[in-house]
Amino acid sequence: MTTTSPTRHRARAERPLSAEAAALATGPAAHPLHPDHTPTGQLAFGAFFQGVNSSTIWRLPASGDQVAWDSFEALVRTAERGKFAAFFLGEGLRLREHRGVPFELDVAGRPDAQTLLAALAGVTERIGLVATQNTTYNDPVDLARRLQTLDLLSGGRAGWNIVTTDNAWTGENFRRGGYLDHADRYLHAEAFVQVAGQYWRGERIAHDGAHYTVRAQGELPRSAQGSPVLFQAGASPDGQDFAARTADVIFSPHGTLEAAAHFRRSIVERTVAAGRDPAGVKILPGAEIILAATEAEAEEKVRWVRDQQVGPEQAIALLEQYWGRDLSAFDPDGPLPDVPPEVAESGVTRGAGFQFAKAEELTRTWREEATQKGQSILEFARAKAGARRGTFTGSYDTVADRLEEFARLGAIDGLNITPWLIPSGLDDIVDELIPRLQERGVYPSDYAGSTLRENLGLPAV
Amino acid sequence: MSTTTAHPSAADAAPQSVAAPSAAERPLPVLAVDLVTEPALLGGLAELARDLEQAGVGALTLSDGGLHPIHVAAHLAPLTSSIGLLPRTDAVYVEPFHLATQLMSLDHLSHGRAGWLLRAETDPEVAATVGRTVLDLAATAREAADVLETARLLWDSWAPDAVVRDVASGTYVDAARLQYVDVEAETFSVRGPAITPRSPQGLLPVLLADTDRAAAGERTAERADGRVLDLDLSSGLTIAQAAVRIREALAAVPAPGSSAEGGAVLEDPADSGAAPDAAAVRLVRLVGLDLEADPLGTVAGLTADLRSEGLIAPAPTPGQDLRTRLGLSPAPFRLDPARRSDRARLSREESA
Ligand SMILES: Cc1cc2nc3c(=O)[nH]c(=O)nc-3n(C[C@H](O)[C@H](O)[C@H](O)COP(=O)(O)O)c2cc1C
């Protein structure tokens, strides 16, 4: 990776690292985290329009329609104005449920990611268009063809965020049902990606694997970037190894400096073990950014955002998800329920972030934690909601300083930012934060090229 | 699916509560141009679509030439303003859930200009791309009809007012206004509801080209919203020939209502799911456009002349949805109490 691109500012005189960052740096400035990793000192931003979640506030007058074309168009235009490398869409193949009923309290329902991105390709010029698409409930040739179509329609700006959700509950919407053992999700994904790669290269495919029998012929020309950029979101050791072998970019959940530094080391190790150049695997943690002019205002704003994100009903529903029983009789302003959970594990029906928690242990720990901190149900749920995300909050300047440090350490290659408001949620990031990052020399002043690969600093394929 | 569905109402997909228009008031067909989605189209695609729209063409159909027709249609949506967008795609060697989601998403982002030109694939090579062996004709037709019904159930699985955004109760979506689809077809099953809220048209118009009718089968033909008459430009079609073909086709259509009576495969004709006027010619489609030559010249002239002869519908106006232009009534939301998405809660409350 080069940092001499003419579109990038030269770094100004370096400030000393903070004590926290200095403690994490185990090597010289050229390789602070790992001898095999050289930080680029640059950040790339993605805008993650998650679509279905509890972080997007829907109850304000400024909350836009979650399905309307105008919302997507407005957000992608702001992101492109801010030279974001990518616009991301999430995916969930079954409507989230809570106690057997579609979950009513969060934003629900969104358009198909790739169909939407194909349309957005027509109103944008440089920004990458990344669709989260599942390997378990798609057919590899069909998905590969759709991704290549998007890549061609956008002039080489397509990306695929590979996810492996395999539960049988989601499978109820698909031909094969819940056919895949959870342990095999990445074996299956690897075969899937292999078939997709063959299709993109225009090869004759004759694949007889454990999970697919496919006969096909790649038929489309290569795009300006060769083939779609591969993102991977999945944090388990198997997921990391899969990413190290396969992915160009990892969409990680590790947003604190310490967690990000450890994750970088882990990925560098795995990438080297897989025989790849660690510079070819970028890491973009998911992030939420809450900014204001001063620290005090930012603190106040964070509280207000959490209040809007998590109401009393959602706080009770959060606990019900892990207790597995009706807790509506409990006062949201009172202590956590003193009743035992009715399930052994939390289910999959509220989305990937919730699954497989050991209920007995978790609910006990939570009760102790809330008692110790003197938190009510509502206060506890709001604190948990904040803790779930990689959150950057503070004044424009402090957040810019902090991100500069992430870049200098090479802990991350950028952020995948989930706006808490649609469609205006990127405005202050683009107008206030990005100019400060540009001044600090860690954010590009313009797009490096016309393809997503170029704008992420990835080698052509 | 009508014979295999676990749920009696699952077959009951098409809107029938609306009276069919009489022959006299049957609207003129919309003129469409077929674009084959070849990669060679890429450079000038947007310009071509806009030129065709300018020329007064009412709709584009996107036939599969490599690029995925639904994505090409989606790409054109924000680049055009009034033209209808109908991908011509297979109903058989696909995941019904994905297909329905993609099509209703196209309807959202085109503000109600989307339709589906259904075809039933019979090519063994296409079946092999998804690891399947090609079906015989009867099974192909059965599956196409099942997928059509399933798509409609998914499109109809959110009430228009399901997203309530009620700040007082903290409710974003009302599960009582969502419904499962509970489809148990011979070759697939789908639980639902859709992962996408109801699209502007509710039910997208589903049309069937005469050339695709044999493979798609009778049940699909009966349940489609109308026929498509193809006129081939590649053999040097004159205005006079085109006019004769359209007049013949319009005259050959039986009186509205009579087409719904062929529901022999169904147990209950009242519950047939047959569209009110499935035999009506809703689209006249110009195929065989020569992209190398000057396609637009021919099309613009044909469009103007056929329109002045009163054989095709007026040019579309922005804001009018495709159903309206095709002469289809608005699709009402049909709630089936047995499929309500809050049934688990209702039964908990009952037993409490
Ligand atoms: C930051 C992040 C974002 C994700 N976004 C999605 C998503 O939009 N849709 C989805 O189905 N899964 C998503 N996932 C989860 C994936 O389904 C992933 O495959 C799953 O976590 C299982 O992999 P693992 O066991 O390696 O974590 C996401 C995961 C992470 C870490």
Residue-wise pLDDT for A158-198, tens only, equals 999 999 988 999 999 999 999 999 999 999 999 999 999 99
For the Cβ of A91 lying below 6 angstroms from any atom of ligand 1, the answer is: yes
Q: Look up tokens 């304000």; give the residue.
A: A60
Dihedral sign (CA B115, A153, A88, A160): positive
Residue type, B158: W
- Domain residue spans in chain B? 18-156+186-329
What is the distance between the alpha carbons of residues A45 and A251, in angstroms, rounded to a whole number? 11
Q: Which residues of A touch B111 (CB under 8 A)?
A: 69
The dotted CATH code for A19-285+390-456 is 3.20.20.30
B43 shares contact with chain A (CB less than 8 Å):
no
- Cβ B170–A68 below 8 Å, yes or no? no
Confidence band (pLDDT; 50, 70, 90) for A413? very high
| Residue B337 neighbours by CB under 8 Å, 6+ apart | none
Nearest CA to ligand 1 atom 16: A163
Q: Which residues of A touch B344 (CB under 8 A)?
A: 99-101
Dihedral sign (CA A208, A209, A210, A211): negative
Q: What is the mean pLDDT of residues A95-111?
A: 95
Nearest CA to ligand 1 atom 21: A234
What is the distance between the alpha carbons of residues B67 and A216, in angstroms, rounded to a whole number? 15
Q: What is the mean pLDDT of residues A103-123?
A: 97
Strands A282-292 and A391-395 turn out to be: parallel
pLDDT the model gives residue B256 = 55
Confidence band (pLDDT; 50, 70, 90) for A349? confident
Q: Which residues of A touch B171 (CB under 8 A)?
A: 104-105, 313
Say what angle helices A237-246 and A257-273 make with each other, to 10 degrees: 60
**CB-based contact A162:A245 (threshold 8 Å):** no
pLDDT the model gives residue B311 = 95
pLDDT the model gives residue A97 = 95
- Cβ B195–A174 below 8 Å, yes or no? no
- Cβ B345–A115 below 8 Å, yes or no? no
What is the distance between the alpha carbons of residues B41 and B48, in angstroms, rounded to a whole number? 9
What is the distance between the alpha carbons of residues A82 and A420, in angstroms, rounded to a whole number? 17
**CB-based contact B283:B246 (threshold 8 Å):** no
For the Cβ of A48 lying below 6 angstroms from any atom of ligand 1, the answer is: no
CA distances (Å), A196 to each of A214, A452, B37, in order? Answer: 11, 18, 20
**Which residue ranges of chain B lie beneath pLDDT 70?**
1-25, 254-276, 295
C-beta pairs of A350-356 under 8 Å, 24+ apart in sequence: A350/A96, A350/A97, A350/A98, A350/A103, A350/A321, A351/A52, A351/A53, A351/A92, A351/A96, A352/A163, A352/A165, A353/A388, A354/A321, A355/A167
b/e A35-52 (16+ beta carbons within 10 angstroms → b): eebbbbbbbbbbbbbbbb
pLDDT the model gives residue B19 = 41
pLDDT the model gives residue A460 = 81
How do residues B298-347 score in pLDDT, each as one tens digit?
899 999 999 999 999 999 888 999 999 999 999 999 999 999 999 999 99
Give ipTM to 2 decimals: 0.94
Q: Which of A165, A173, A246 to probe ligand 1 with, by most ligand atoms within 8 A of CB?
A: A165
pLDDT the model gives residue A101 = 96
Q: Residues 171-210, chain B: which have Cβ within 8 Å of A?
A: 171-175, 178, 187-197
Q: What is the mean pLDDT of residues A206-223?
A: 95
For the Cβ of A167 lying below 6 angstroms from any atom of ligand 1, the answer is: no
* CA-A242 nearest atom, ligand 1: 26
How do residues B14-28 score in pLDDT, each as one tens digit?
333 344 444 445 789
- For the record, the structure tokens of B132 come out as 């399947």
pLDDT the model gives residue B16 = 39
- Cβ B67–A106 below 8 Å, yes or no? no
Q: What is the mean pLDDT of residues A239-267?
A: 95
Mean pLDDT of chain A: 92
Tell me, what DSSP letter sits at residue B167? T
Tell whether the model's pLDDT for residue A444 goes beyond 90.
Answer: yes
Residue type, A84: F
- Cβ A174–B125 below 8 Å, yes or no? no
Q: What is the mean pLDDT of residues A325-342?
A: 93
Nearest CA to ligand 1 atom 13: A163
Task: Please give, rounded to a whole number of angstroms, the shortest distance from the CA of A442 to a CA of chain B.
Answer: 34
| Residue A418 neighbours by CB under 8 Å, 6+ apart | A48, A49, A50, A53, A55, A56, A286, A287, A288, A389
What is the SS3 assignment for A7-35? CCCCCCCCCCCCHHHHHHCCCCCCCCCCC
Taking the centre of ligand 1 as the mean of its atom positions, its distance from the CA of residue A64, in whole angstroms, is 26
How do residues A354-379 score in pLDDT, each as one tens digit?
666 678 888 899 999 999 999 999 99
pLDDT the model gives residue A12 = 53
A219 shares contact with chain B (CB less than 8 Å):
yes
Nearest CA to ligand 1 atom 8: A90
pLDDT the model gives residue A234 = 79
Tell me, what DSSP letter sits at residue B179? B
Task: Please give, rounded to a whole number of angstroms, the shortest distance from the CA of B228 to a CA of chain A.
Answer: 25
- Domain residue spans in chain A? 19-285+390-456, 304-387
Task: List beta partners, residue A207.
Answer: A214
Instruction: Tell me what percent of the residues of chain A surpass a pLDDT of 70.
Output: 95
State the maximum Cα–Cα separation within chain B, in Å, rounded to a whole number.
73
3-class state of residue A39 by DSSP? coil
Q: Which residues of A touch B106 (CB under 8 A)?
A: 115
pLDDT the model gives residue A354 = 63
For the Cβ of A165 lying below 6 angstroms from any atom of ligand 1, the answer is: yes
CATH class label, B18-156+186-329: alpha beta
**CA proximity to B250, closest of B309, B312, B194, B337:** B312
How far is residue B221 CA from its own chain's centroid? 12
Q: Which residues of B touch A149 (CB under 8 A)?
A: 67-68, 71-72
Residue-wise DSSP of A426-461: THHIIIIIHHHHHHTT-S-SS-S-SSHHHHTTPPP-
What is the distance between the alpha carbons of residues B310 and A377, in angstroms, rounded to a whole number? 69
